[in-house]
Amino acid sequence: MQLKVNVTSERPDEYVGKRGLVKHQVITCQDVDPSGYRLLMPFDYTLSEEEKAKWAGKLQDRTITVGIRELLPCGGRLRARGAIVTGPDTK
C-alpha cells in the first residue's frame, strides 16, 4: 500500500543486536491521505542504505509517499518496511 505521509521527526537509532551494534536512520511518519481514510497513530520507517545516502537530514517536516510492505511492532510502536516512492522534491 502507498501512503502520503508527513515526516514529523528524523533520528538515528542504535541498539545491540545478535550480531553486534546496529545503526539505522529512522523517520516518524503521520498519514495525511487527502481521502480522509488515515492511520490514526504515527509510525516509524527505517531508511535503507540507499535511501539514507539520498534523503538523510532532508525529510523532516516534509510530505513524501511511502510504499509499505509490512507494519511490525517494535518497542511499543509500529515500524514500517518498504520504500520511499516519491520524495519531497518530486512533484
DSSP labels for 33-57? Answer: -TTS---SS-EEEEPPHHHHHHHTT
Q: Specify the higher pLDDT residue, 33 or 70.
A: 70
Which parts of the chain are beta strand (E)?
2-17, 20-31, 43-46, 63-74, 77-86
What confidence score (pLDDT) does residue 90 get? 53
Q: What does the alpha-carbon distance between residue 32 and residue 1 come to, in Å, rounded to a whole number?
A: 14
pLDDT of the residue at 37: 87
How do residues 2-48 score in pLDDT, each as one tens digit? Answer: 999 999 999 998 989 899 998 989 999 999 988 888 888 999 999 99
Q: Which is nearest to 6 in space by CA: 45, 37, 35?
A: 45
